[in-house]
A and B are shown apart, each in its own frame.
Chain A
Amino acid sequence: MKNAKRKTLLWMLILFGVIIYFPGRMLARHHVNDKTAVTDHPLKCTSCHVYTSKNKFVTSLINEDYYSPFNIAVSHDGSRLYVVAQDTDELLIVDTESNVVLHQLKVGVHPHSVILNKANTLAYVSNQWSDYISVIDLAVSKVTDTIKTGNGPSGLTLSADGSFLQVVNTYGSDLSVIDLSTKEELKRLGTGSDPTGTALSPDGKKLYVTSRRSKIVPYGEPLVSDLTEINGETLRVGEHHNIEEAYMMENITFTPSGDLAMMTLIRPKNLIPSVQIEGGWMMTHGIGVIEQGENGRIIQLLTDEPNSYYSDPFDIVVSPDGKRAYVSNSGADRITVISVDSIRAILKETPKEELKNIANNLGVSSRFVIKRVPTGANPKGLALSEDGKKLYIAEQLEDKIGVLDTESLQMEAPIDLGGPSRITVARQGRRLFNNAGHTFQKQYACYTCHPDHHEDGLVYNMAGKDMGRNVTNTQSLREIGDTPPFKWNGKNQTIYKQDGMRFSTVLTRTEQFSYDDLDAITAYIKRGIKYPPNLMYNPHGELTESQQRGKEIYNRTKDNFGNVIPENNRCYTCHPAPLYSNLRTADVSTLAVTDDSILFDTPHLGNIYASPPYLHDGRAATLEEIWTVYGEDNKHGYVNDLTKMQLNDLIDYLKSLGGPEQEEISSQTQETASF
């Protein structure tokens, strides 16, 4: 009897399953098709509902806390490595004999670089999301002090006599000079935009700071980035060198003799219609060589080859004998080994008028590239042992330190920092994001146009339909998970569609992501990319008086004369908190004659201060210009009654905006991404 009941129940269950299976499956199919814009994406509920979940319990289950080593310093005797673990906010001290992590020292949020003083008694770590330097006493392996810096400290150098610490402030676009006797900031020198790299000449007389973003110029004008030369003795700006057609100059170094300075760079092709990848029509990567002495020529050389690209060059170091340089190609998982003597020969024989031409020659690299050495995922910072025999490589997304024997040019066993062995879906997404392998001939990664998962400040001719039409400003990918639709015209309802088939047809021009990879990169983009804290404009989560006044203007319903502002012309209507976007499209009358007739997706405004230029085609160099130059018809918000002071207040408020989380937690305690 009992069995009969069981049987009946079983059959009922089967029947019920059959009844709901087919329509259920059909509904699910319809839902997935709608989200992915394809008809064959697997019906995996986990793709969306687990990997991109915001539920804390779920995220704690599916994610891991990786170290993500970013930069390294090595002690004089080679016995210790000091590894910046960016995602755990630590400095790891590693014994190179036993390959064991001896100490894990908590520093500030999102540390960037580490340097040691001459005596190797102190280490200085820049904390990019905390705006201070951690000072570590290496004798006791403890953080003993902090020093306030500018906004977004990154690259570090010490003056020749060790009395000053120079700190590159990436977000502030300047250099803090810190008097180490008082541990106070002495002054701040203006640099190029979004700088990170810095190097002091061997004689201590010259300090370079490299910038990553180009100067903002109207679309069509040549791209120019700033290499700032600072007098190492007076600590005043000596010269701003224009580096033409290049940007993302991540790091710079001098040869030991000081005859050359060498930096990494990217030469983008944003002004050219993006009709093809073949022939270096989208991105090229290389190095800049700055001749010292009288000539002072700056030459750019591509490290790419005609059918193979080595994307996202990050760090560069030169061997103690000045014969070899090593470049980490973060997007290609390679170390490019360079003969510096060959570069010297090229410099010697290249007349000045040929310099521009040689910078566009993919064949030149065969003259100076000795070898391409494969590494773990996403090689970033490099450090050479003092004898030059070992090159240590921070493999950021491998959680390991790669070790290259510089004599045999063979990789040795890497140093495992002891991070999670499991590669989570989001971590896989981050690897994909940072790797150029999914682009034809590996010409660029997502990261190339979205450095720091943000945007590169350039306006591209994506040649959507005709070649001269629809130029578009690169959009930030920070915290966009809840702000669909995507693309300037809002035509992509999900990131699945954005990065799906059409993405491969028009952008990567190679095989599209597998659906597993698409799930992974979507998970990472939706949930893994965080805003840096807005320490410049909203350090404590409290609005200043000016920002408070600006907020009132943002939320106003009447103009200065008491007239009611139409609802669709109020700031908050289209940009309501907490996302500061109503997720709809609108006409703000900034369509160019070269644009197709479209409405614009309403962008979110979180960290808007960090995303110049503005508007869909980057025509507004600053937030002010949105209204002073392009807002005459009052269609992008009603503003023409505002006084200059009121406009300043409004913009001050806009610059204070972070993401929805900003209101909940102080940015000082914001956690870093753990993907």
Chain B
Amino acid sequence: MKIHLKYPTLLVLFVMLVISSWGFVQPKERTEFIKDTSKTYGDKNQTASEKPMPIYGNWISYDSKNGLPGDKAYCVKIDGDRVLVGTHEGLAVLENGNWKTYTTEDGLTHNGILAMDVDPLTGDVWLGTMGGLSRWSTGKFENYTQMNSGMPNDLIYAVTCDGKDVWVATGGGAGCYDTYTRKWEIFTEENAPMHEPWTYGVCASDDKIYIAAWGGGIIEYTKKTKKFRDYVDPDGNMEIDLFPDDGVVHDITTGASWSNGMLWVATYFGLSRYDGVHWKGYFDHDSGLTSNFINYIKAKDDIAFICTDQGLSTTDGKNWVNYTTNENLRKGKTIIINGDDKKVMATSPSLAHNFTIGVDVEGDEIWVATSKGVSHGHLMK
């Protein structure tokens, strides 16, 4: 059985490019840029959020020297008392102060874990890898591939647990797995308003699923009606965002996250936020966003945590806290921008690397996956 994709060669090349870029992109020093843009940031008519932005510090990093099976960490998830890190060399689990690694030898479908989510009800961990999906239920891996199941494609960029369903964004379309009926449903350009089958992110709200489709903006799927609609960049311009806040900033979307009624959309060309009525765009040149090149986004309560190639940005839509680092010195900066106010704090140690790929936040803890390890920060009080 051959799986037929519309642009297979192009897709494979692009995937290889993106994956390989995670390890090799060398970020520029951003300090000057932040200084320069501090005066132009923000909507002057808006007041700063009443709730102060959380600031994280006391960073501790882990890489292959102190716990991880490899340096390259793609994703991270806080799961109760343990932390799960998806790396290029397998799943690393920090529990009771000890790291333990799980690889294909333990039953994992592929060692390169790009995405993960934990089912809050069952505790099952769903791991999206470069070679399929693994359901890890304490001690047991159950693997789904495009060969042994109805899953669309083995290259999985995003995983989201939504009740009994598990959604994946893959190189061959979005997939929905019903854990009750054990049935896959595939969504591609053939049955959904996508530009092509490549999907890069998926997230769930109470009644909707949002799929970040490459070249197709955001695909909204209403669970009840099973109907789709898409949100693309209305100006259609691939170079610049011609008309601000007219819609999603770019059709090349790389992730989406929904929290507290807000949908946050990541692209390689800036950030978008959608409140169900209005879209708002954020760029590195007109907001506190540290870089337009966004690898991953995670919204938690009112805050978006944005993983870029130049560090981690966090925002409530108005105020920003950015975390950057000098990888050689292991020192970095925490830049706090409240409206016009801007404060730069030196942090040492800081994030493991500026090329941030994954993040998770729970309580006072933040974990950031980077191309040179994973960093653990604490809420500064």
Q: Across the interface, which residues of B come within 8 angstroms of A38, CB to CB?
A: none
Q: Across the interface, which residues of B come within 8 angstroms of A35, CB to CB?
A: none
A640 to B: closest C-beta gap in Å: 6
In the complex, the chain A residue whose C-beta lies closest to that of B152 is A644
Question: B122 contacts which of A188, A628, A641, A642 (Cβ < 8 Å)?
Answer: A188
Question: B147 contacts which of A174, A536, A629 (Cβ < 8 Å)?
Answer: A629
Given A237-B123, A647-B1, A648-B150, are A190 and B142 neighbors across the interface (CB < 8 Å)?
Answer: yes
User: Is B137's CB under 8 angstroms from A237's CB?
Assistant: yes
User: Is A237's CB under 8 angstroms from B184's CB?
Assistant: no
Of the listed residues B152, B185, B186, the one surrounded by the most CB atoms of chain A closer than 10 A to its CB is B186
Interface check B227, CB cutoff 8 A: no
Interface membership of chain B positions 162-181, coded 1 if the CB is closer than 8 angstroms to chain A and 0 otherwise: 00100000001100000111
In the complex, the chain B residue whose C-beta lies closest to that of A544 is B183
Interface check A288, CB cutoff 8 A: no
Interface membership of chain B positions 130-142, coded 1 if the CB is closer than 8 angstroms to chain A and 0 otherwise: 0000010111101
Interface membership of chain B positions 271-294, coded 1 if the CB is closer than 8 angstroms to chain A and 0 otherwise: 000000000000000000000000
User: Is B190's CB under 8 angstroms from A643's CB?
Assistant: yes
A215 to B: closest C-beta gap in Å: 8
> Complex: how many Å from CA A625 to CA B148?
5
Question: B184 contacts which of A242, A640, A641, A648 (Cβ < 8 Å)?
Answer: A648
Given A188-B122, A639-B1, are A645 and B179 neighbors across the interface (CB < 8 Å)?
Answer: no
Interface membership of chain B positions 181-201, coded 1 if the CB is closer than 8 angstroms to chain A and 0 otherwise: 111111010110000000000
Given A622-B149, A625-B148, are A643 and B3 neighbors across the interface (CB < 8 Å)?
Answer: yes
User: Is A652's CB under 8 angstroms from B183's CB?
Assistant: yes
> Complex: how many Å from CA A160 to CA B138?
23
Interface check A184, CB cutoff 8 A: no
> Complex: how many Å from CA A239 to CA B137?
7
Interface check A180, CB cutoff 8 A: no
A18 to B: closest C-beta gap in Å: 65
Interface membership of chain B positions 110-136, coded 1 if the CB is closer than 8 angstroms to chain A and 0 otherwise: 000000000001111000000000010
Given A240-B139, A628-B147, are A187 and B121 neighbors across the interface (CB < 8 Å)?
Answer: yes
User: Is B137's CB under 8 angstroms from A645's CB?
Assistant: no
Given A640-B2, A644-B3, are A624 and B147 neighbors across the interface (CB < 8 Å)?
Answer: yes
Q: Across the interface, which residues of A come within 8 angstroms of B135, CB to CB?
A: 190
In the complex, the chain A residue whose C-beta lies closest to that of B141 is A240
Interface check A540, CB cutoff 8 A: no
> Complex: how many Å from CA A141 to CA B179?
36
B340 to A: closest C-beta gap in Å: 48
Question: A624 contacts which of B121, B149, B186, B188 (Cβ < 8 Å)?
Answer: B149
Question: A150 contacts which of B2, B123, B139, B180 (Cβ < 8 Å)?
Answer: B180
User: Is A628's CB under 8 angstroms from B123's CB?
Assistant: no
User: Is B172's CB under 8 angstroms from A190's CB?
Assistant: no
A179 to B: closest C-beta gap in Å: 12
Interface membership of chain A positions 225-258, coded 1 if the CB is closer than 8 angstroms to chain B and 0 otherwise: 0100000001011111110000000000000000
A40 to B: closest C-beta gap in Å: 49
The bracket for how many chain A residues form the interface is 35 or more
Interface check B224, CB cutoff 8 A: no
> Complex: how many Å from CA A189 to CA B147?
25
Given A189-B122, A628-B1, are A644 and B146 neighbors across the interface (CB < 8 Å)?
Answer: yes
Interface check A537, CB cutoff 8 A: yes
Q: Across the interface, which residues of B come within 8 angstroms of A241, CB to CB?
A: 139
User: How many interface residues does B have (CB within 8 Å)?
Assistant: 35
Interface check A186, CB cutoff 8 A: yes
Question: B138 contacts which of A238, A627, A641, A644 (Cβ < 8 Å)?
Answer: A238
Question: A645 contacts which of B123, B147, B164, B191 (Cβ < 8 Å)?
Answer: B191
Contacting A at CB under 8 A, from B1-35, are 1-4
Interface membership of chain B positions 94-123, coded 1 if the CB is closer than 8 angstroms to chain A and 0 otherwise: 000000000000000000000000000111
Interface check A631, CB cutoff 8 A: yes
Of the listed residues A150, A622, A639, the one surrounded by the most CB atoms of chain B closer than 10 A to its CB is A622
> Complex: how many Å from CA A622 to CA B143?
12
> Complex: how many Å from CA A639 to CA B1?
7
> Complex: how many Å from CA A583 to CA B135?
39
> Complex: how many Å from CA A628 to CA B172?
15
Of the listed residues A240, A624, A627, A647, the one surrounded by the most CB atoms of chain B closer than 10 A to its CB is A624
> Complex: how many Å from CA A165 to CA B183?
26
Question: B124 contacts which of A237, A631, A643 (Cβ < 8 Å)?
Answer: A237
Given A150-B180, A188-B179, A648-B150, are A239 and B1 neighbors across the interface (CB < 8 Å)?
Answer: no
> Complex: how many Å from CA A241 to CA B3?
36
Interface check A632, CB cutoff 8 A: yes
User: Is A632's CB under 8 angstroms from B124's CB?
Assistant: no
A553 to B: closest C-beta gap in Å: 13
In the complex, the chain A residue whose C-beta lies closest to that of B148 is A622
Interface check A621, CB cutoff 8 A: yes
A543 to B: closest C-beta gap in Å: 14
User: Is B138's CB under 8 angstroms from A632's CB?
Assistant: no
User: Is A237's CB under 8 angstroms from B186's CB?
Assistant: no
Interface membership of chain A positions 515-535, coded 1 if the CB is closer than 8 angstroms to chain B and 0 otherwise: 000000000000000000000
B298 to A: closest C-beta gap in Å: 23
Q: Across the interface, which residues of B come within 8 angstroms of A546, CB to CB?
A: 185
Interface check A172, CB cutoff 8 A: yes
Of the listed residues B1, B124, B146, the one surrounded by the most CB atoms of chain A closer than 10 A to its CB is B1
Given A628-B146, A628-B148, A651-B150, are A190 and B122 neighbors across the interface (CB < 8 Å)?
Answer: yes
A535 to B: closest C-beta gap in Å: 10
B105 to A: closest C-beta gap in Å: 14
> Complex: how many Å from CA A174 to CA B135?
14
Of the listed residues A187, A240, A644, the one surrounded by the most CB atoms of chain B closer than 10 A to its CB is A644
> Complex: how many Å from CA A348 to CA B124?
35
User: Is A239's CB under 8 angstroms from B139's CB?
Assistant: yes
In the complex, the chain A residue whose C-beta lies closest to that of B140 is A240
Interface residues of A, Cβ cutoff 8 Å to B = 150, 172, 174, 186-190, 226, 234, 236-242, 536-537, 546, 621-622, 624-625, 627-629, 631-632, 639-645, 647-648, 651-652
Which 5 pairs show the lowest CB-CB distances between chains A and B? A240-B140, A236-B123, A187-B121, A628-B1, A628-B147
A sample of 10 more A-B contacts (CB under 8 A), given A172-B180, A238-B138, A629-B147, is A188-B122, A190-B124, A237-B138, A536-B182, A625-B148, A628-B3, A632-B1, A639-B1, A640-B1, A644-B146
7 residue pairs of the A-B complex, CB under 8 angstroms, read A172-B180, A172-B182, A174-B179, A241-B139, A628-B148, A651-B150, A652-B150
